């Protein structure tokens, strides 16, 4: 072999080695080990900005986890998460930042219903589709969002009130002897509007007394504070309508510290608590008979949101509104079913097995 040929062979081998090493480097840069045993390759991820209300309740924490699990890289989605700490101005800032970041989709769990027209209009102008979750937005133009996923809060309240009516009838309690305090959620949130107005209509229809309605922002410590004060002002209270489980937990603490008892029988002087969410913590109190009825508010909305985004993205048809399924759990057998929209609706008697299976 001539010196020239040797030189050409050396250069060819060098070039091939470089190409091979560069190729290996490129491949390893593309691979990311996120879960043991699962290798991820960089593909075209959809970027989604999610503005969450906050972390005010066990329900909210479960909702965040469900959405984070479903809008994951494993499902082809890069999620940018923002916690607004219960403040609408923080949510508006987050949405504007998502627009600047040129995300593909925006998911918004709005703290209250009003005040969204301008910022959702900005998202629309930037061509970014918006999905609303949990509470609703009250906007002039419904095309400002693609779809909504959440609970029927008015129906939840109807279930609670029909149960209370049936309970009072079975126990032969006169409507005028039912003295309720309403520990409300965040004023202006769809969950608060639906639950408060449902109680107001039922009280008017059945003749119950609402002694007071006070907001506690779905938070345990605030509810304890509010209830402590209400117990002093209204010693005749015998029903507390808590607009979520964390408020019920705070209410139980206030009742017990005052020397009274939370229970299922108001004919024995106990204070009966109705709650919403049916989280593990809430249902634990149902099993202890400190909450008489817990109407479920299902936070597991992540998969539905992921499927909606995929449908919008691939141009498939999708529903504008999706309501999640929900049950109601009671501490005793006084009422086992109610008539809801002319059909029988079962009230589930809570058992230890049901509680054990609860995911959140």
Binding site for ligand AHR (CB under 6 A): 56-57, 59-60, 134-135, 189, 191, 218, 244, 276-277, 297
Comparison of 107 and 191: residue with beta carbon closer to ligand AHR: 191
Rounded least distance, CB 278 to ligand AHR, Å = 10
100 burial type by CB count under 10 A (0-12 exposed, 13-18 middle, 19+ buried):
exposed
Is 227 within 8 Å of 250 (Cβ atoms)?
yes
The distance of Cα 128 from the centroid of its chain, to the nearest Å, equals 23
Secondary structure (3-state) at 78: strand
Comparison of 50 and 263: residue with beta carbon closer to ligand AHR: 50
Rounded least distance, CB 162 to ligand AHR, Å = 19
Secondary structure (3-state) at 59: helix
Rounded least distance, CB 236 to ligand AHR, Å = 27
Comparison of 60 and 290: residue with beta carbon closer to ligand AHR: 60
Comparison of 45 and 360: residue with beta carbon closer to ligand AHR: 360
* The token pair that represents 121 in the structure block: 């209009």
Rounded least distance, CB 237 to ligand AHR, Å = 22
The distance of Cα 333 from the centroid of its chain, to the nearest Å, equals 28
What span, in angstroms and rounded, lies between the C-alpha atoms of 43 and 298?
A: 32
Rounded least distance, CB 294 to ligand AHR, Å = 11
Rounded least distance, CB 317 to ligand AHR, Å = 27
Reported as type and span, the H/E element at residue 13 is helix 3-30
* The token pair that represents 247 in the structure block: 């408020």
Comparison of 77 and 219: residue with beta carbon closer to ligand AHR: 219
* The token pair that represents 23 in the structure block: 């190729």
DSSP-assigned letters across all residues of 281-334: HHHHHHHTTSSSEEEE-----HHHHHHHHHHHHHT----SEEEPP--EEESSSS
Q: Who's near 167: CB < 8 A, 6+ residues apart?
A: 272, 292, 334, 335
Comparison of 56 and 270: residue with beta carbon closer to ligand AHR: 56
Rounded least distance, CB 246 to ligand AHR, Å = 6
Comparison of 297 and 335: residue with beta carbon closer to ligand AHR: 297
């Amino acid at each position: 072999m001539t010196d020239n040929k040797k030189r050409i062979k050396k250069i060819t081998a060098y070039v091939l080695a470089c190409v091979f090493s560069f190729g290996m480097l490129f491949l390893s840069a593309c691979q990311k080990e996120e879960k043991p045993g699962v290798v991820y390759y960089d593909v075209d991820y959809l970027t989604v900005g999610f503005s969450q209300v906050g972390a005010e309740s066990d329900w909210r924490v479960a909702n965040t986890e469900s959405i984070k699990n479903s809008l994951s890289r494993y499902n082809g989605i890069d999620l940018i998460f923002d916690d607004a700490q219960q403040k609408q101005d923080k949510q508006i800032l987050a949405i504007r930042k998502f627009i600047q970041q040129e995300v593909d989709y925006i998911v918004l769990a709005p703290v209250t219903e009003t005040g969204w027209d301008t910022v959702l209009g900005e998202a629309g102008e930037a061509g970014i589709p918006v999905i609303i979750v949990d509470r609703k937005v009250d906007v002039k133009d419904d095309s400002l969002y693609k779809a909504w996923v959440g609970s029927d809060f008015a129906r939840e309240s109807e279930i609670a009130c029909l149960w209370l009516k049936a309970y009072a009838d079975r126990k032969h309690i006169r409507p005028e002897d039912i003295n309720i305090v309403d520990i409300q959620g965040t004023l202006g949130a769809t969950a608060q509007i639906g639950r408060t107005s449902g109680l107001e209509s039922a009280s008017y229809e059945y003749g119950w007394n609402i002694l007071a309605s006070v907001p506690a922002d779905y938070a345990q410590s605030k509810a304890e504070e509010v209830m402590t004060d209400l117990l002093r002002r209204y010693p005749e209270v015998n029903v507390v309508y808590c607009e979520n489980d964390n408020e019920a937990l705070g209410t139980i603490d206030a009742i017990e510290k005052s020397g009274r008892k939370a229970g299922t029988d108001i004919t024995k002087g106990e204070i009966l608590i109705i709650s919403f969410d049916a989280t593990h913590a809430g249902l634990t109190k149902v099993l202890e008979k400190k909450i008489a009825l817990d109407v479920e508010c299902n936070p597991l909305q992540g998969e539905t949101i992921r499927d909606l985004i995929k449908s919008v993205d691939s141009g498939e048809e999708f529903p504008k509104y999706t309501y999640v399924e929900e049950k109601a759990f009671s501490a005793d057998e006084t009422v086992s079913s109610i008539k809801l929209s002319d059909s029988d609706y079962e009230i589930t008697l809570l058992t230890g097995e049901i509680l054990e299976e609860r995911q959140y």
